[in-house]
Amino acid sequence: VSYSPALFHIVVGSLYKPRANILYYSLMTFDHPSFVLHTAMGKKLIGCPVCIEHKKYSRNALLFNLGFVCDAQTNTCALEPIVKKLSGYLTTLELESGFISNEESKQKLLPIMSTLLEELNATGACTLPIDESNTIHLKLIQLRKDPPIVQEYDVPVFTQCKDHFIKSQWDLTTQQILPYIDGFRHIQKISAEADVELNLVRIAVQNLLYYGVVTLVSIFQYSNVYCTTPKVQNLIDDKSIQEECLSYVTKHGQKRASLRDVFQLYCGLSPGTTVRDLCSRYSQQLQRVDERRLIQFGLMKSLIRRLQKYPVKVIRDERSRPPRLYTGCHSYDEICCKTGISYQELDERLENDPNIVVCWK
Amino acid sequence: MYKTGDKTSPISVILVSSGSRGNKLLFRYPFQRVAECPSSLTAKQRSPYALNTAGEGLEDQDGDSRFSDIILATILATKSDMCGKKFELKIDNVRFVGHPTLLQHPPIIQANADPSVISCMHNLSRRIAIALQHEERRCQYLTREAKLMLAVQEEITTVTESEAHADGNPQSPFRQILPKCKLARDLKEAYDSLCTTGVVRLHINNWLEVSFCLPHKIHRIGGNYIPPEALECSLKAIRPYHALLLLESEKALLSQLPLDCSPAMVRLIKTCSAVKNLQQLAQDADLALLQIFQIAAHLVYWGKAIIIYPLCENNVYMLSPHANICLYSPLAEQFAQQFPGHDLPSMLAKFSLPVSLAEFRNPLEAPAQEAQLIQMVVWMLQRRLLIQLHTYVCLLVPPSEDEPGLRDEDLPLAARVGGRSLSTPSALSFGSPTSSDDMTLTSPSMDNSSAELLPGGDSPLNKRMTETLLASLSEHERQVILNIPAAQNPEDLRMFARLLHYFRGHHHLEEIMYNENMRRSQLKTLFDKFRSVLVVTNHEDPIISIFQSPME
């Protein structure tokens, strides 16, 4: 990725020949438009033209445009706000002290541009001292995908070691709930124990999700059922995941678990098998392995997935009330969380109802 | 509207010409910007995570309404040196994609979207441009249409100058162009189709057909689309033992085909069946396997078929994690109509645990019941409600306890195997629809494994073969394997050694059966005999699971 800033309105001019000014004037009807133009030479031009009208300028207006030239394949979304910011700064400088129209100060643009190029390419951030009173700070900010909605029965777990987390960088709510994020407490529980309103907890966790600090897994219970995904083979193929896994799941103070044991355990998870079943069948393999962390890691890396139970009331006659929760849209996790009853209770209730079928997926 | 739907729909279609008399906006559709802004755009601005530049309020108009006709004409007019190449210009949140051709170019505006969507749009642009170019050369079609459009525009402007409209709203000249101009109607249709089904079918000048599909709209599961690159990847990995499952009835499909479509396509559709693999299909339809692959890929790309493993009683199916099992879903209704007396949730509940079709068989039931079961399974597969599970095997020898220095799990098996190419038959390009190898219709076999191992005990040749195959393992692994009781039987050991390269967890049982011409029972027995060094698991086939689940 390399950006090379260039005052290129000359280049644009040659593409549009006599219409160069018209292009600028047309773009001037917008508020600081930025544009990205793909040229035929396999490059992209990103710029933000500025037009300042004043009698003192020849032709009564000053047109300028500081932009970047990049390879056509480069993802340039992060550059657009920078280009706009730069044009704003330059406009202010021009209006305050004629920075650009003045022949002398104009020379400063060259070292400014090379600093821009170097620093943005190196660190993604740039500090440009213009003169004694003006400094420009720029930073490339990557846009991320919108995070999914966080439910009350979701469990946040740190993707990196929690110790690396610098608390002071975050807002007060996040700081307050931090001690309760242990990869086992779900949102509702965190809210209750940290004494923070449920929605605030949800938003705080969503924020952490956005920055990739945490990821979500499901509630752990020994009655849970999981199964392997095709990605489970990554444990064998990918050395780094192997290393990470074995250190993550080994019980404290024990010799490192063997790959074979861990892989057997993951493969032992299948539909119809609860974690409890796994523990009794593979007790030898579990000597050095913490089963809760095993499940946690497996979910975080998508080596395994959870099978949830969904009750569906199959309507037999027209007179009975339509089901509210037993529609196949709500899992046991959700129903238990919302109603406060336990899995066992729910099981007992539903087992006796001949109109209810249960789907696992 | 789907979350991603808006990012795959164009905002509008524009036709601009640039020539000696200047630039002209010939036509644009929709005429005025209606207030239904793409929700994804405004959502982006409202999301707390997006950068909000000062001054962008919620009342901001998005899309192309800020661009007047004159501006568009200026911006999109290009010089001749840009013709014949992709044109892309992004201004703030709006992206223009087009394909300038000599004299004219039809660009389409698009909001912030995936690069693959942009290149698809450009593709459509280019196709329309090529068709227009052809018709222009043949009968000056474009010049005629352009003249018409300009004439209507002038007429309207002179009318509005001389009269004032009662409601003060200027009449859009483009609205008047529509009934008079076939090209305008075609462009409108392209826009409408892109926004809805994603399938465009035009007849430029009632003569040249331009057809195009936006895979992002067609291949959607659970609100996400399958990226075309992933689709293409999967299509390249299809094997002769896979099958093609049509997503619509034979009759419906045939009626959609253009009149001049290839007879091979028709034959394939007529001969295709969920129980037939592609190799059999080739035989029955009397077509080359390569052709079958190409037509199948084509049908899949257009969302008319998916790839499955052919139906048979040993197939094990389970509910797909993305299946919609809601009681009130439209699927439940359709199912009840299709199969009276049965309800979908009850049927789906039966697949909560992996179940093979054989288990449904009830000797007391009439054969008609069994046939109906097959129909229901096919129905569910077509709607991506079920996934098929396969058995995968991995060689993992118990580590030696008394030699801490020995790390057998150090290198993945492939690396240790050395120079011999042990990748799957795809290296021999069997599965690739783009390969031009002469594919035989018999079961393919690996280079120097099965065919050359002679039956009959302990011949020195066989012994040496087995030794060579096992040489790829570490000393410890070899020892452990040779100490297994079953290894004392030379036949078993030989079979084990010969199949060794499949035990990396990437080849399922059915693939081994097909490649090595073995029975399921043979393989299962072997796995059982060597279970102390093998780990077995069941999951879906990642190659074709793309058709059941969206990309992560």
Q: Within 10 A of B185 (CB to CB), how many other CB atoms are there?
A: 16
Q: Of the candidates A26, A38, A357, which has its C-beta nearest B75's C-beta?
A: A26
- The Cα–Cα gap between B533 and B281 comes to 39
Whether B396 and A312 lie within 8 Å, measured CB to CB: no
Query: Which residue in A31, A144, A328 is closest to B327 by CB distance?
Result: A328
Q: Does B436 touch chain A (CB under 8 A)?
A: no
Tell me whether B298 touches chain A (CB under 8 Å).
Answer: no
DSSP string, A78-115: THHHHHHHHHHHHHHHHHHH-TTTSHHHHTTHHHHHHH
List the single residue in A with minimal CA-CA distance to B66.
A30
pLDDT at B242 over 90: yes
Inter-chain contact A233–B536, Cβ cutoff 8 Å? no
Distance of CA A33 to the CA centre of its chain: 27
Return the minimum-mean-pLDDT range out of A3-7, A317-321, A338-342: A3-7
Q: Do B321 and A305 touch (CB under 8 A)?
A: yes
What percentage of chain B has pLDDT greater than the value 90?
23
Tell me the shortest Cα–Cα distance from A104 to chain B, in angstroms: 32
Q: List phi, psi (to 5°) of A38.
A: -90, 125
Taking only the tens place, the pLDDT of each residue in B428-478 is: 333 333 332 323 323 333 333 443 444 555 677 777 777 777 788 888 888
Looking at mean pLDDT, say which of A132-136, A288-292, B98-102, B197-201 comes out highest: A288-292
Q: Give, as one character, the DSSP assignment of residue B132.
A: H
Q: C-alpha angle B179/B185/B186, rounded to 5°? A: 160
pLDDT category, B135, cuts 50, 70, 90?
A: confident
Instruction: List helix spans (H) across B77-227.
Output: 115-139, 141-162, 173-180, 182-195, 215-218
Nearest by CB to residue A236, choosing from B505, B542, B545, is B505
In eight-state DSSP terms, residue A284 is T
pLDDT of residue B220: 57
Contact B47 A358 (CB under 8 A): no
Q: Is B119 in the A-facing interface, judged by CB distances under 8 Å?
A: no
d(CA A45, CA A70): 7
Return phi, psi of residue A314, to 5°.
Answer: -85, 110
In the stretch 103-132 of chain A, residues with CB closer than 8 A to chain B read: none
Do B25 and B72 meet the contact criterion of CB atoms below 8 Å apart? yes
Q: How many CB atoms lie within 10 A of CB B266?
A: 15
Looking at residue A41, its pLDDT comes to 63
Chain B: residue whose CA lies nearest to A263: B535
Query: What pLDDT is attached to residue A34?
Result: 66
| DSSP tag of B277 | B
Asked if the C-beta of A40 comes within 8 angstroms of chain B's C-beta atoms, the answer is: yes
Query: What is the mean pLDDT of the segment spanning A269-294?
Result: 95
A210 neighbourhood in chain B, CB within 8 Å: 49
What is the predicted pLDDT for the residue at B294?
85
Are the Cβ atoms of B505 and A144 closer than 8 angstroms?
A: no
| H-assigned helices in A58-194 | 79-97, 103-106, 109-123, 172-177, 187-194
pLDDT at B548: 62
Q: Dihedral of the CA atoms A21, A23, A28, A32 (nearest 10)?
A: -120
**For A81-85, A315-319, A351-355, B500-504, which range has the lowest pLDDT when averaged over its residues?**
A315-319
Buried b / exposed e across B457-478, counting CB within 10 Å, b at 16+? eeeeebeebbeebbebbeebbe
Greater pLDDT, B353 or A108 = B353
Whether the link from the prior residue into B30 is cis, omega within 30° of 0, is: yes
Say whether residue A211 is in contact with chain B using an 8 A CB cutoff: no
Looking at beta carbons, which residues of chain A come within 8 Å of B90?
35-37
B319 — phi, psi (to 5°)? -60, 135
Closest listed residue to residue A316, CA positions, set B35, B345, B498: B345
Question: Residue A187: pLDDT band by 50, 70, 90 thresholds?
Answer: very high
pLDDT band at A316 (very low <50, low <70, confident <90, very high): low
Q: Quick: pLDDT tens for B219-228.
A: 654 445 566 6
Domain boundaries, chain A: 9-139, 154-217, 225-307, 309-360
> Residue B44: pLDDT above 60?
no
The answer to whether the beta carbons of residues B62 and B37 sit under 8 Å apart is yes
| Amino acid at the residue B447 | D
| Least-confidence region, from A201-205, B61-65, B69-73, B126-130 | B61-65
Mean per-residue pLDDT over chain A, rounded: 82
pLDDT in tens, B465-492: 777 777 888 888 888 988 899 888 888 9
**CA nearest B143: which of B12, B26, B30?**
B26
Cα angle value B218/B224/B228 (rounded, 5°): 55
Instruction: Rank A130-144, A311-325, A336-350 by mean pLDDT and report only the highest.
Output: A336-350
Residue contact A328–B319, C-beta within 8 A: no
Burial (Cβ within 10 Å: 0-12, 13-18, ≥19) of residue B419: exposed
**B551: contact with A, CB 8 A cutoff:** no
| pLDDT-derived band at A22, boundaries 50, 70, 90 | very low
Kindly state whether A313 is in contact with chain B, defined as any CB-CB distance less than 8 angstroms. yes
pLDDT at A4: 42
Element at B243 (helix H, strand E): strand B243-246
Q: In chain A, whose CA is at the least distance from the CA of B353?
A: A271
How would residue B523 be classed by pLDDT, with cut points 50, 70 and 90?
Answer: very high
A52 touches chain B (CB under 8 A): no
Q: Does B391 have pLDDT greater than 50?
A: yes
Quick: pLDDT tens for B345-368. 999 999 999 999 988 877 777 778
- Expressed in angstroms, the distance from the first to the final Cα of chain A is 43
Token pair belonging to B367:
């054969």
User: What are the CA-CA distances from residue A117 to residues A2, A67, A120, A121, A131 (Å)?
Assistant: 8, 11, 6, 6, 19
Q: What is the model's pLDDT at position A325?
A: 87
**Is the CB of residue B441 less than 8 Å from the CB of residue B283?**
yes
Those residues with Cβ within 8 angstroms of residue A216's Cβ, 6 or more apart along the chain or in another chain: A148, A150, A154, A155, A156, A157, A209
The pLDDT-based confidence of A297 (bands split at 50, 70, 90) is very high
Which A positions 150-209 lie with beta carbon below 8 A of chain B?
Answer: none
For chain B, positions 230-269, list CB contacts with chain A under 8 A. Answer: none
Flag whether residue B55 sits within 8 Å of chain A, measured between CB atoms. Answer: yes
- Among B278, B357, B273, B277, CA closest to B312: B357
CB atoms within 10 A of CB A256: 13
Domain assignments of chain B as residue spans, ordered by start: 10-213, 220-308
Nearest CA to B355 out of B319, B382, B391 is that of B319
Q: Calculate how close chain A gets to B139, using CA atoms only, in Å.
A: 30
How distant, in Å, are the alpha carbons of A212, A217, A327, B227 from that of B550? 21, 19, 24, 9
Q: What is the DSSP letter of B98?
A: E
Summary mean pLDDT of chain B: 72
Instruction: Tell me the average pLDDT across B159-183.
Output: 64
Let me know: does A250 contact A290? Beta carbons within 8 Å.
yes
Question: Contact A234/A303 with Cβ under 8 angstroms?
Answer: yes
Q: What is the pLDDT of residues B271-306, one digit of tens each?
A: 999 999 999 999 999 999 888 988 888 888 778 888
Residue B209: count of CB within 10 angstroms of its CB:
14
Nearest CA in chain A to B398: A260
Q: Write down the pLDDT at residue A1.
A: 34
Q: What is the CA radius of gyration of chain A?
A: 30
Residue of A nearest to B85 (CA): A40
- Say how far apart CA B67 and CA B73 lie, in whole Å: 10
> Which residues of chain B lie closer than 8 angstroms to A236, CB-CB?
394, 396, 412, 504-505
For A352, residues 6+ apart whose C-beta sits below 8 A from its C-beta are none
Distance from CA of A302 to the nearest CA of B (A): 10
Cβ distance B89 to A264 less than 8 Å, yes or no, reads no
**Does A146 contact B392 at a Cβ distance shorter than 8 Å?**
no
A260 touches chain B (CB under 8 A): yes
Contacts of A91 (CB under 8 A, 6+ apart): A50, A52
More confident: B430 or A117: A117
Higher pLDDT, B58 or A232: A232
Element holding B528 (H helix, E strand):
helix B520-529
Residue of A nearest to B77 (CA): A16
How does pLDDT run across B69-107, given as a tens digit for each residue? 666 666 666 555 555 666 666 666 666 666 665 444 444
At residue A73, the 3 state secondary structure works out as coil
Round to whole Å and give the CA distance between B182 and B297.
33
Q: What percent of chain A has pLDDT over 90?
A: 46
Q: Is A237 on the interface with B (CB under 8 A)?
A: yes
What local confidence, expressed as pLDDT, does residue A36 receive? 66
Contact in structure between B26 and B15 (CB atoms under 8 Å)? yes
Quickly state the pLDDT bin for B378 (edges 50, 70, 90): very high
Q: What is the pLDDT of residue B23?
A: 65
| Closest listed residue to residue B105, CA positions, set B202, B16, B222 | B16
Q: Would you call B539 and A237 a contact, using CB atoms and an 8 Å cutoff?
A: no
DSSP secondary structure string for all residues of B476-500: HHHHHHHHSGGGGSHHHHHHHHHHG
- Amino acid sitting at position B346: S
Say whether pLDDT at A213 is over 80.
Answer: yes
The residue of chain A with its CA nearest to that of B541 is A230
What are the chain B neighbours of A257 within 8 Å (beta carbons)? none
User: Chain A neighbours among B 484-513 (CB < 8 Å)?
Assistant: 504-506
The predicted structure's pLDDT at residue B552: 32
Q: Which of A75, A233, A358 to mutate to test the interface with B (most CBs of B within 10 A)?
A: A233
A139 interface with B at CB cutoff 8 Å: no
Cβ of A315 within 8 Å of Cβ of B327? The answer is yes
Judged by CB atoms closer than 8 Å, whether chains meet at B409 and A27 is answered as: no
In the numeric block, the tokens 């390879």 are attached to: A71
Q: Tell which wins on pLDDT, B380 or A163.
A: B380
pLDDT at B5 over 50: no
Longest dimension (CA), chain B: 105
pLDDT in the model for residue B261: 78
